[in-house]
Amino acid sequence: MPRDPLLRAWAVLIGLSLGSTALSLWLWPPGLTAIAGVSILTLAWLKARVILAQYLGLAQAPFWRHGFEIALALFCLVLLGLYLAPGLG
């Protein structure tokens, strides 16, 4: 793994992107499609956290990083609720 934090973040983003791509291309049985959606949303949330911390430099500002992560988590929970809500998706 590279020592440079940006290269390490880039490698993590590539790995998470490959994971979400593999999950989206997998042929899920009809009853398990919700698991695929939740998994892909979770990987997107992790990618957003890496981008906020490393590329926007919030790793050096813990107070601001924490605030952004709370807002991001709430947003992802709203998206998850909308995705899982019956009749809306």
Query: How many of the other CB atoms lie within 10 Å of CB of 52?
Result: 18
Confidence (pLDDT) at 18: 97
Work out the pLDDT band at 87, boundaries 50, 70, 90: low
Average pLDDT, the chain: 92
Q: In whole angstroms, what is the distance from residue 49 CA to residue 79 CA?
A: 16
Average pLDDT of span 49-70: 94
pTM of the model: 0.86
